[in-house]
C-alpha cells in the first residue's frame, strides 16, 4: 500500500531518530513510502494536529504520490483523525493504530491473536463515530434522532460483548500460565526473562542460549509470542528462559493491558536480562523506555542485568563490567556471532547464587541491582 508519512517536530532532540523508527514500523507493516512530510510546531493543533496550511501541503503531496493512506507518527485523538480524513479525503492512521496493525500481522499463537484482537477492539471503541457516515445524526434535535443513534449503540454493545468474551478467554489462559509457573517453581528452576527494546536482538540471543529456533529478524516486533525453554547451566542448574515481546517508545496502553498474560512471564521472573542494542545511538533513550514499561507492569524491582548485544557492530569487546561493589552490571555479547555467551552464563550463575531462596520470590537483593539509571556515554568506558 502506498503511504505518505507525516512527522511533526515539537523540538525533541531525538526527532530524526524517532521519525526513522516510524518509517521502519511503516515498512514492517508492508507500506510503500511515497513521501515524508515534516512539520514544526510548538504544540499540536486541537482540531487537525497540524495547521490548516500543512494539511493542504499534505493533501497535495498525497495526490502527487498517489498515496492510499496517510500515516501520522503521533497519537491522534478521534476528533483529529476524523477532521483530517474529512479534509484530506483519504484514510488516516496514527501511531497506535499502526503498531496494532503490525501486532495483528505478527501474532501467531492463539493467545497472541486474542490479545491483539482485544487491543484493537479497545482502540476501535473510542473511534466508533467515524466508522459510519450516518452517525452524524447522533447530535440530536428534531429530525436528527433515530437510526444513527441506534446503530452506534448497537456497535458499542457488540464490541463490549466481544471484549468481555476475549477477556474471559485470556483469563483462562493466564490461569494456565500460573499453574505452569508454580510447577516450575516447585522444580527449583531459576526463571529468567529476556526484555528490551524491539529489535535489540532478544530472539537471536534466546536462540543462542537455548539452541532453539525462534523466528528472529532485523525488524521491529519480529517476536510477539512468548517462548519458554528449559536449559541447564553449570553452577545454576535448571534455568527456565523466556523470550518476550519487545517494547517501544509510546507503546499503546491498550497493548500493555491486552498483553498482560504474556507480560506475566516478565513480572514473575527471578531475573531479567535487559537486552540492549549496543550499536544504537539511541540506546540510552531505549533503556529508559524499557524501564518505564517495566515500572508500568510492576516489574521495576525485579533484579536485572544489562546485556549489551550486537557488539559486532560497535566498539565494545565481549566480557563483563562490574560496579563499585563488584556486582555484574553489564555483559557485552554478540548473539549473532555467539561471543560473550560464557560470560553471560556466568552472570546468570552469579545472580542465581546471590539469592538462594526459592525461585519466584522476586527478591530485590542489592547484589542484583543494575546501573541502568546511570548508563550513558559518560558511564560507558568502552564506547
CB 200 within 8 A of CB 223: no
Judge whether 244 is annotated as a binding position.
Answer: yes
Judge whether 311 is annotated as a binding position.
Answer: yes
CB 185 within 8 A of CB 360: yes
Judge whether 309 is annotated as a binding position.
Answer: yes
* Nearby residues of 146 by Cβ (< 8 Å), 6 or more positions away: 137
Helix (H, G, I), strand (E, B) or coil at 6: strand
Judge whether 197 is annotated as a binding position.
Answer: yes
Judge whether 188 is annotated as a binding position.
Answer: no
Judge whether 362 is annotated as a binding position.
Answer: no
User: Which DSSP string do the residues of 57-82 spell out, in sequence order?
Assistant: HHHHHHHHTT-SEEEESSPPPHHHHH
Distance CA 276, CA 310 (A): 8
Helix (H, G, I), strand (E, B) or coil at 21: helix
Packing angle of the helix pair 95-106, 110-125 (nearest 10 deg): 160
Judge whether 360 is annotated as a binding position.
Answer: no
Judge whether 221 is annotated as a binding position.
Answer: yes
Q: Between the CA atoms of 24, 198, 213 and 274, what dihedral angle is there, to the nearest 10 degrees?
A: 160
Judge whether 310 is annotated as a binding position.
Answer: yes
Distance CA 75, CA 97 (A): 9
Judge whether 196 is annotated as a binding position.
Answer: yes
Judge whether 242 is annotated as a binding position.
Answer: no
User: Which DSSP string do the residues of 160-196 spell out, in sequence order?
Assistant: HHHHHHHHHHHHHHHHHHHHHHHHHHHTTPEEEEEEE
Judge whether 222 is annotated as a binding position.
Answer: yes
Distance CA 132, CA 128 (A): 8
> Grid coordinates representing 285?
533513550
Helix (H, G, I), strand (E, B) or coil at 225: coil
Radius of gyration over alpha carbons of the chain, in Å? 23
Distance CA 132, CA 126 (A): 14
Judge whether 213 is annotated as a binding position.
Answer: no
Judge whether 243 is annotated as a binding position.
Answer: yes
Pairing state between β 69-72 and 304-309: unpaired
Residue 266 phi, psi (nearest 5): -75, -45
Judge whether 245 is annotated as a binding position.
Answer: yes
Helix (H, G, I), strand (E, B) or coil at 199: coil
Judge whether 22 is annotated as a binding position.
Answer: no
Judge whether 297 is annotated as a binding position.
Answer: no
Judge whether 358 is annotated as a binding position.
Answer: no
> Grid coordinates representing 6?
507525516
Annotated binding site for Mg(2+): 203, 223
Annotated binding site for GTP: 196-203, 221-225, 243-246, 309-312
Annotated binding site: 196-203, 221-225, 243-246, 309-312
Amino acid at each position: 500500500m502506498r503511504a505518505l508519512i507525516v512527522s511533526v517536530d515539537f523540538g525533541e532532540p531525538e526527532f530524526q531518530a524517532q521519525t526513522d523508527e516510524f518509517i521502519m514500523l511503516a515498512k514492517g507493516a508492508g507500506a510503500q513510502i511515497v513521501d515524508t512530510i515534516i512539520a514544526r510546531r510548538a504544540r499540536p493543533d486541537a482540531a487537525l494536529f497540524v495547521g490548516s496550511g500543512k494539511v493542504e501541503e499534505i493533501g497535495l503531496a498525497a495526490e502527487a504520490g498517489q498515496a492510499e493512506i496517510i500515516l501520522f507518527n503521533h497519537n491522534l485523538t478521534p476528533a483529529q483523525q476524523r477532521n483530517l480524513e474529512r479534509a484530506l479525503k483519504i484514510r488516516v492512521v496514527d501511531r497506535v493504530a499502526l503498531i496494532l496493525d503490525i501486532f495483528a500481522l505478527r501474532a501467531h499463537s492463539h493467545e497472541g491473536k486474542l490479545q491483539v484482537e482485544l487491543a484493537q477492539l479497545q482502540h476501535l471503541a473510542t473511534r466508533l463515530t467515524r466508522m459510519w457516515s450516518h452517525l452524524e445524526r447522533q447530535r440530536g434535535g428534531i429530525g436528527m434522532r433515530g437510526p444513527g443513534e441506534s446503530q452506534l449503540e448497537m456497535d458499542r454493545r457488540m464490541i463490549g460483548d466481544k471484549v468481555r468474551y476475549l477477556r474471559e478467554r485470556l483469563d483462562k489462559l493466564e490461569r494456565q500460565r500460573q499453574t505452569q509457573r508454580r510447577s516450575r517453581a516447585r522444580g527449583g528452576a531459576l526463571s529468567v526473562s529476556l526484555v528490551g527494546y524491539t529489535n535489540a536482538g532478544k530472539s537471536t540471543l534466546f536462540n543462542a542460549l537455548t539452541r532453539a529456533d525462534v523466528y528472529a529478524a532485523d525488524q521491529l516486533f519480529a517476536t510477539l509470542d512468548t517462548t519458554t525453554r528449559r536449559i541447564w547451566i553449570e553452577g545454576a542448574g535448571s534455568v527456565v528462559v523466556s523470550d518476550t515481546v519487545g517494547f517501544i517508545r509510546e507503546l499503546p496502553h491498550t497493548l500493555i493491558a491486552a498483553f498482560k498474560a504474556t507480560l506475566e512471564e516478565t513480572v514473575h521472573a527471578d531475573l531479567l536480562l535487559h537486552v540492549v542494542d549496543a550499536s544504537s545511538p539511541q540506546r540510552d533513550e531505549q533503556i529508559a523506555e524499557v524501564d518505564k514499561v517495566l515500572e508500568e507492569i510492576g516489574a521495576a524491582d525485579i533484579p536485572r542485568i544489562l546485556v549489551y548485544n550486537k557488539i559486532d557492530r560497535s566498539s565494545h569487546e565481549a566480557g563483563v563490567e562490574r560496579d563499585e561493589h563488584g556486582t555484574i552490571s553489564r555483559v557485552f555479547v554478540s548473539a549473532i556471532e555467539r561471543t560473550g555467551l560464557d560470560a553471560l552464563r556466568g552472570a546468570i550463575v552469579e545472580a542465581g547464587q546471590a539469592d538462594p531462596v526459592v525461585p519466584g520470590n522476586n527478591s530485590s537483593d542489592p547484589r542484583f541491582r543494575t546501573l541502568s539509571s546511570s548508563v550513558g556515554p559518560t558511564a560507558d568506558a568502552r564506547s
